[in-house]
Structure 1
Amino acid sequence: MDMNASVSKDATDVTPAASIFGTRAWRILRNGLLAVVGTVFVLWLVLFVTKGRFLKHPFESIASRMAGRDVRVGGAFQLYFAPLKIKFYAEGLSVANPAWATRPYLFQARTIDTRIAPLSLLFGKTRVYWLDLAGGAADLEWNAGHSANSWTFADTGGKPFELPRIDRATVAGTHVRYADPRTRLLADLAIDTVTAIDKKIGKAVGLHGTGRIRDTPFRLVAQLMSPDATLDRGENKLVARAWAANNVIDVAGTLPTATDIEDVPLQTRARGRNLAELLGIIGVALPNTRDYSLRAQLVKHGADYRFTRLAGRFGDSDLAGRLTIINGERLRLQSELTTRQLDIIDAAPFIGYNPDIVAAKGAVAAAAATGAAPQRLLPDAALPVAALQRFDAGLHWTIRDIKSRNVPISYVDLTLALDRGRLALSPLTFSMARGNVASDLIFDTRSRPALDSYDIRLSPTPMGRLLAGYGVDESGTTGTIKGRLQLTGRGDTIHDSLASAIGRVAFIMPHGSFWTRNAQLSELDIGTFVQKMFEHKLKEPVQINCGLIAFTVRDGIAAADPIIIDTKKNVILGRGGLSFKNENLDLAFRADGKQFSLFSAQSPVGLEGYFAKPRIDVISPELLGRAGGGLGLGAIASPLAAILAFVDIGDAKSAACGPILAGAHAQAMRTTKGKPRDDVGNGTTAKSESGKESTADRKKQRKKFLGIF
């Protein structure tokens, strides 16, 4: 009984399940599945037999709608399963560019043959088993507003097109063109033939080509050093070198993708014959330099190109810091720089000199090379007005020491601001001979010609240290000097602005001593000059009570206003002036004794010539006249009478130091008894100092200066 019951129960359990396959519903489902499979097989068979050639126009229509632009196949077309992978083959494939682009096609290929994983198309991560591409050409462009590019399609939500994963590839004869109107960059590059098997390329992928950035052509060679990782969508080690405007630029780094450099640190190095040529590529005006070599880390962030860890040299000077180039509405440079030692020759371009000429031939030759007349110092190199109005800049530069033979300068601190053509070096401070110089220099090219102002202030500085390179003995000189130069003029060169300048120059000497070692300054012998001032060979320092060397400047002509130095034994007076127009010097100095002297030439010492080549005239007409008078007296009376022509009765009037130390004009000068002085200049010069080069005029004026005594 029990056994029969068990058998009966098993039979009951099997019967319903078996009966399902015999039902009408099952037959419908089965027939439907067979129909689908049959249909798919028929479609597969049709595609396999026809190679899908009839799908050419539907493909063009669907692809064009999805891309938002025309997609065309100019020649043969195949799209089918072979046997389970999708095969796509096309000749003359082209994808159009947006209407704003300068070229009609984003992409063209002579032939393209691929095998694609079917399921990868359903899950949005396309996988290409292998790709053969021949004669490819891509045109990548940004629009003028930099708000759209040619490789972003309508169906991506604004995201750039991404390359699919490719397991095996052969790419030959491929060219890429890249254009960015905002940075004015155009590159036309050829990619070397690439062969990859099983995601392994086995060697670096190279590219080379030419281009133009702004108005400068360049040549580029680059290599993708880790192409295998690139195929796996991993790291991309890139090494590139470019040649442009006599510069060589190297770039190396690891990219997240083959074309993405945003926020990626890249190691850069640039070297060349002139740093101005490098920055000139992007339209930035910079003084010329000698050969340079710089390295830095570059990070592109939006419109900013940030160069950090900057280090290197230009000429014989070092440079470090950081620089940011901002490609906004206006190009702007923002930088923080430091220099341990700046060679004075490398500083020559800051005032318009060619440093190579300065190093080889000197400042006079460098000035002449700018267009200045022979024997001139002020350069005629014009400000790059157009360039200064194209970009803005901010710079803070500190220099610890300047290598100079004669002038001890150190601890330079410069703040530069360039705003739409107005260049301000303010403040510019530095230490000089244990003194400090503070200045504000402004060149405003928005006015035509440029409106230029110079305000230079020298704090009390030891003369022994300041003039040590010019023959002044530090151990015997305790005097100090302070001064100020305030000039305003118009011109696009330093020479032109000073040649039209108005203002005042004044140097004040408080109480102290002064001693020379009779050394040479150019061809001007300071020792001889001072000795002639005091009419005997110096055996001890000159004791200075107070002194003022001041000039009033009108239309580029500086007239003594006044020159007066009161010493323990003498009063030194000066008359004459100098010209910024032709750099002519025409000054006369005389030391009047405060005590009786049996023998004194009482003859002025002339300082004439040019800024670049001053000279002393110690044989003045007054001395010759006095000598002639002495000879006459000796002939008529006796030899002893001849000495009377050289007697100094010692009637020099001591100067009140108050107006002198205040830097007052000549009319404010007083004697120690409070009386106005009538022996100092009043800030006027004769007509011959108007800038003319007439030798006769200079001689006539020289006689007038020297004859007033």
Structure 2
Amino acid sequence: MSQETARPPSLHSRAPAARDLVGRARRRFTRRPDRRPPQAAERPRRRRLAWAGGLLALLAIVIAVLIAVWDWNWFRGPLERTASTRLDRRVTISGDLHVDLFSWRPTATVDGITIANPEWAGTTPMGTIERLRVRIRLVPLLWGKADLRVLAVDRPNFRLLADGQGRQNWDFSPGRQDPPADFPPIQNFVIREGRLEYSDAQRNIRFLGLIEARERLGAGNTGFQLTGDGTINGQPFRAEVTGGPLVNVERDQPYPFDVDLRAGRTHVTANGAIPRPFDLGRFQMNATIRGPDLADLFPITGVALPNTPPYALRGRLSRAGFLWKVDGLSGRVGDSDLAGVLSVETGRERPLLKAELQSRSLDFDDLGAVFGAAPKAGSGETASAEQAAAARRLVAQQRLFPDTPLDVRRIRAMDADVTYRAASIRDTPIELRAGSVRVRLDDGLLRADPLRLDLPHGRVEGHVTLNARGGTPATALDLRLSNARIESLVPVTFQGSPPFEGALVGRARLAGRGDSVRKTFATADGEVVVVAPGGEIRRSVAELMGVNVVKGLGLLLSKDSSTTPIRCGVAHFQARNGVMRADSIVLDTGPVLVTGRGEIDLRSERMDLRVRGQDKSFRLVRVMVPVTAKGPLTAPRVGVEPGPALAQGGVAAALGTMLSPLAAILPFVDPGLAKDANCGALIAEASRDGAPVKTATTAAR
């Protein structure tokens, strides 16, 4: 074979075949225009859409058939488990479940619901519901908004229990405070034959009531109505809550309501609105409340308020989550006006009460009810029937200290920070101008500090502490009297003018135990000191205190108004187990030195004091007999006790003997008194005369 015949074919010889392959591939993958009529081209597409629609319709029919024949009771188990987990206790459904989904307003019905109690509350169920029916709008639900058309509860029976430890069987999240309930708008809320039993050991209340809630037709009543009846502390209780029409309730439109609550003789009326129905954590209302005693509100509110005379108050009550607030509080408590603001913060271990209160004019006897005493029950005085009876018993028994027991459970149930000011005070045993106090309560420890009472001259200030954390309450007080005047505190006149004038200071420091004022003073320990560092006394009165008959009567008959200095006056009492014994009573005037001793028994509320005057110079006619003050504290009898005449003389020795304790007690009253007052000079004089006392200079060294 030649070389030419052995060579492979050239590219030119293969070109026609390649071009043929490329053409066939191009024709295969190139889309040819559909030259069929448009009607023929749409037929396959329509057939596909028809098949898809048919499948969807068949699926809808199948689902509808399944829903129609489905046994919804299959969901009882999952529903019970979910509810039990949410409520932290066993929830069972013994009846049937019915669901109607073929509506723009689907309906669900559940029969035979039982909610168990926590273990500590026993085996009796906390609540049962015979039937629960709910109807809801479907369209808002698609947008995440719940709009209830119907919420109907048939024969609910609930037993709510709070024990002495503060545990509550309706607390579904022990250890934390859940926010207030926020329900969606409900157009038709129905409770048929509801029964509610409530027992609270701490608040000492029992309530058993029947509840009906229904929307009645008619022009006069087209809204929601909730009524309940029962008893609280043996007194009848009734609650009526009415709301506006529920038709077309919207989430962004306020829902109005009225409240009428009667618990015994306590009456509460209010009208208000829920800004976002039905968010129960936010609402406001204008309320009025009246009753015989503010302390009676504890079972209703859980807030421990002090005992008071009959009251009538009004204000604007609002709630924002855990904060309850009363703005514009005004009205009367007893015969005193009261105004201010207060708030109660819940959602903590103990509710916290904060208040700023004031009175333009305080009737002093209204304060007695705060300590368990009774206000005056005479003509023109405001007091309940029980308080008037208690006042009559105190008068008949000649008693000063009330024995009304203190309910320490209420004090332990809350905390407080309250300030109070009285611009003026009237009807006082001694003249008072104004007063103020700040009271703080923390876990059973109450402290009134600072406490201040303004006198026409001077003031009383200090603090009082009540510790109710232990088994028996313990009370301690420390009060100081400063810059006062004798004539203001002892407002008596003698021949048209005060028999004595001068400065007066003092201090009382006592502590006792007991659940009433009477028991506290009956166990009191401490001391009380009153000092008159100087002043003047009518000479006639001074001579009579020394029982200088001739000189004293002569000055009286001549209506002599001359005075003599009060060089020093001291009364010092040591209190032990309710008995205050005077180890030093001294009144040193120009002509007479008066000394004495005795005791005040706070247990029996009686006194037995004796003072004896001793002339400093020779008197031709005098009878040296003690002057006594005996009897009940409310009405002591002043007289003289005949006794043998004492030899004249020994004045310096008497001064030294009686003033020895004075050097020790003056710093207890006023650190600067021993140096600046006449008492200090008297101590120095007694020391120069040989009395065993220390001067302020010696004491300082």
Q: TM-score with structure 2 length normalisation?
A: 0.71
Counterpart CA distance in 2 for 1:131 and 1:451 is 56
- The amino acid that maps onto 1:275 is L
Q: Secondary structure at the match of 1:582?
A: coil
Which residue of structure 2 lines up, in the alignment, with residue 259 of structure 1?
278
Q: 1:342 aligns with which of 362, 365, 369?
A: 362
Q: 2:567 aligns with which of 519, 531, 546?
A: 546
1:693-704 matches, cutoff 5 A? none
Distance change in 2, residues 1:254/1:179 (3 Å):
farther
1:367-425 deviation per Cα after TM superposition (whole angstroms, max 9, x unaligned): 8847x993332333444344434433332222222212541113212122333333322
Contact 1:230/1:257 (CA < 8 Å) preserved in 2?
Answer: no
Which residue of structure 1 lines up, in the alignment, with residue 400 of structure 2?
377
- The amino acid that maps onto 2:443 is R
Q: 1:212 Cα deviation (Å)? A: 8.3
- The amino acid that maps onto 2:374 is N
- The amino acid that maps onto 1:335 is A
Counterpart CA distance in 1 for 2:601 and 2:189 is 76
Contact 2:597/2:611 (CA < 8 Å) preserved in 1?
Answer: yes
Distance change in 2, residues 1:373/1:481 (3 Å):
same
Which residue of structure 2 lines up, in the alignment, with residue 333 of structure 1?
353
Q: 1:57 aligns with which of 41, 50, 72?
A: 72
Q: 1:354 aligns with which of 361, 365, 374?
A: 374
1:125-147 deviation per Cα after TM superposition (whole angstroms, max 9, x unaligned): 5678x769684759795415275
Contact 1:165/1:232 (CA < 8 Å) preserved in 2?
Answer: no
1:503 and 2:526 matched: yes
Which residue of structure 2 lines up, in the alignment, with residue 571 of structure 1?
593
Distance change in 2, residues 1:433/1:182 (3 Å):
same
Counterpart CA distance in 2 for 1:437 and 1:251 is 41
1:145 and 2:174 matched: yes
1:299-325 deviation per Cα after TM superposition (whole angstroms, max 9, x unaligned): 334434333332222110122223333
Which residue of structure 1 lines up, in the alignment, with residue 19 of structure 2?
none
Q: 1:204 Cα deviation (Å)? A: 2.6
Q: 1:535 aligns with which of 552, 570, 583?
A: 552
1:436-459 deviation per Cα after TM superposition (whole angstroms, max 9, x unaligned): 111222233445654433322111
1:255-294 matches, cutoff 5 A? 255-279=274-298, 281=300, 286-294=305-313
Counterpart CA distance in 1 for 2:539 and 2:194 is 74
1:443-454 matches, cutoff 5 A? 443-446=466-469, 449-454=472-477
- The amino acid that maps onto 1:568 is G
Which residue of structure 2 lines up, in the alignment, with residue 604 of structure 1?
626
1:426-441 matches, cutoff 5 A? 426-441=449-464
Q: 1:224 Cα deviation (Å)? A: 0.6
Q: 2:604 aligns with which of 562, 582, 595?
A: 582
Q: 1:308 aligns with which of 313, 327, 332?
A: 327
Contact 1:89/1:113 (CA < 8 Å) preserved in 2?
Answer: yes
Counterpart CA distance in 2 for 1:528 and 1:286 is 52
1:30 and 2:47 matched: no
Counterpart CA distance in 2 for 1:589 and 1:500 is 26
Which residue of structure 2 lines up, in the alignment, with residue 690 of structure 1?
none
Counterpart CA distance in 2 for 1:13 and 1:196 is 71
Report which stretch shifted further, 478-487 or 181-190.
Answer: 181-190
Q: Secondary structure at the match of 1:535?
A: helix
Q: TM-score with structure 1 length normalisation?
A: 0.70
> How many residue pairs get matched?
612
Which residue of structure 2 lines up, in the alignment, with residue 19 of structure 1?
40
Distance change in 2, residues 1:394/1:516 (3 Å):
farther
Distance change in 2, residues 1:397/1:550 (3 Å):
same
- The amino acid that maps onto 2:427 is S
Contact 1:482/1:507 (CA < 8 Å) preserved in 2?
Answer: yes
Contact 1:172/1:194 (CA < 8 Å) preserved in 2?
Answer: no
Structure 2: which 5+ runs fail to align?
A: 1-32, 85-90, 161-169, 667-678, 693-701
Which residue of structure 2 lines up, in the alignment, with residue 562 of structure 1?
584
Counterpart CA distance in 2 for 1:551 and 1:170 is 72
- The amino acid that maps onto 2:278 is T
- The amino acid that maps onto 1:552 is F
- The amino acid that maps onto 1:227 is L
Q: 1:507 Cα deviation (Å)? A: 1.8
1:152-171 matches, cutoff 5 A? 163=184
Distance change in 2, residues 1:264/1:531 (3 Å):
farther
Counterpart CA distance in 2 for 1:174 and 1:366 is 43
Which residue of structure 1 lines up, in the alignment, with residue 674 of structure 2?
none
Contact 2:540/2:552 (CA < 8 Å) preserved in 1?
Answer: no
Which residue of structure 1 lines up, in the alignment, with residue 261 of structure 2?
242
- The amino acid that maps onto 1:310 is L
Q: 1:32 Cα deviation (Å)? A: 3.5
Distance change in 2, residues 1:368/1:420 (3 Å):
farther
Distance change in 2, residues 1:532/1:269 (3 Å):
farther
Counterpart CA distance in 1 for 2:82 and 2:459 is 68
Contact 1:117/1:127 (CA < 8 Å) preserved in 2?
Answer: yes
Distance change in 2, residues 1:581/1:547 (3 Å):
farther
Distance change in 2, residues 1:471/1:278 (3 Å):
farther
- The amino acid that maps onto 1:416 is V
Q: Secondary structure at the match of 2:487?
A: helix
RMSD: 5.2
Q: 2:689 aligns with which of 662, 675, 683?
A: 675
Q: 1:455 aligns with which of 464, 469, 478?
A: 478
- The amino acid that maps onto 2:552 is E
Distance change in 2, residues 1:262/1:404 (3 Å):
same
Contact 1:379/1:493 (CA < 8 Å) preserved in 2?
Answer: yes
Distance change in 2, residues 1:662/1:280 (3 Å):
farther
Counterpart CA distance in 2 for 1:341 and 1:193 is 48
Structure 1: which 5+ runs fail to align?
A: 1-11, 150-157, 519-525, 627-644, 679-709
Counterpart CA distance in 2 for 1:103 and 1:201 is 39
Q: 1:479 Cα deviation (Å)? A: 1.4
1:656-695 matches, cutoff 5 A? 664=665, 674-676=688-690
- The amino acid that maps onto 2:568 is G
Which residue of structure 2 lines up, in the alignment, with residue 683 of structure 1?
none
Contact 2:286/2:315 (CA < 8 Å) preserved in 1?
Answer: yes
